[in-house]
Structure 1
Amino acid sequence: MLRHELHPGKLVAGLSLLTVAVVYAGDAGGAWEAPWFVALPLVMAGLLLAGVTAAIHGIRPRGATRPDGSSGRRTPRD
């Protein structure tokens, strides 16, 4: 099985959207009361954090190699 690249920005974005879903599921189930306008700040903060995470992950020194020894550059396949 091929190994997949880690995309921490996508992970953070997914977790933030999952958090919004849990907040509204708890509201629908009667566990707590969540106002309707809570979703927008949660989603925007999560996407901002995901963007910062992806930007930080994308910053690498020019000659840096990955743990598997590859340079991280894609090569065309035959």
Structure 2
Amino acid sequence: MPRHEFQPGRLLAGIVLLTAGIVYLLDASGEADVPWFLVIPMAVGGLCLSSLVGMVTYAVRRDRRDRISESSDR
């Protein structure tokens, strides 16, 4: 299988949604008493944070790629 580049935004989104799912599961099983309005902002905030991380990662990689192509053109 070919290797792929590390994408921290997707990793963060997965961790946040997994955590929200575990919190919801604990609440549904009666192990924890979590208000419903806590899980939704946690999931939405995590997705916003992961999109920000993804955009920053893209910008850094694009800048690095542009610098490499400029140095090879000279």
TM-score, with normalisation over the residues of structure 1?
0.71
Residues 64 and 34 of structure 1: CA distance in aligned 2, closer, same or farther (over 3 Å): farther
Task: Tell me the matched-pair count.
Answer: 65
Q: Structure 1: 5+ residue runs without aligned partners?
A: 66-78
Root mean square deviation, CA, Å: 1.7
> TM-score, normalized by length of structure 2?
0.75
Matched, 1:63 2:67: yes
- CA displacement at 1:32 relative to structure 2: 1.0
Higher relative contact order, chain-length normalized (CA < 8 Å, sep 6+): 2
Equivalent AA in structure 2 for residue 35 of structure 1:
P
Q: CA deviation at 1:39?
A: 2.2
Structure 1 ranges of 4+ moved more than 6 A: none
Change (3 A) 1:64 1:55: farther
* Gap runs ≥5 in structure 2: 70-74
Report whether the alignment pairs 1:39 with 2:43: no
The Cα shift of 1:47 comes to: 0.8
